[in-house]
């Protein structure tokens, strides 16, 4: 957030547009051709944990009920 270094890297990556393959652009920008989501997972860990705790309280599936849609008057069932 508000990192001038990250902004400069992003600018360099975006300037390449579609002129090069993205792994080549990544290599030039940050020195590696590989990426992973570890930093994003760490950043969102608190909200992920909260969501998991909230989901434990939920019931999976639909409740049992006897409702059926009304059949239109004059419907014969012959498509």
What are the sequence ranges of the domains in the chain?
Answer: 4-55
Residues 23-40 have pLDDT tens digits of 999 999 999 999 999 999
Q: What is the pLDDT at residue 41?
A: 97
Q: What is the Cα–Cα distance from 2 to 41, expressed in whole angstroms? A: 20
Residue 4 has pLDDT above 70, yes or no: yes
> What is the pLDDT, as a whole number, of residue 79?
65
Mean per-residue pLDDT of the chain: 92
Helices (H), the chain: 4-16, 22-30, 38-43, 45-56
């Amino acid at each position: 957030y508000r990192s001038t270094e990250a902004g400069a890297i992003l600018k360099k990556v975006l300037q390449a547009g579609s002129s090069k393959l993205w792994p080549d652009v990544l290599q030039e920008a940050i020195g590696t051709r590989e990426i992973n989501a570890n930093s994003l997972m760490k950043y969102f860990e608190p909200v992920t944990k909260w969501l998991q705790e909230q989901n434990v309280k939920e019931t999976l599936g639909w409740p049992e009920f006897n409702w059926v849609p009304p059949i239109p008057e004059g419907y014969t069932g012959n498509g």
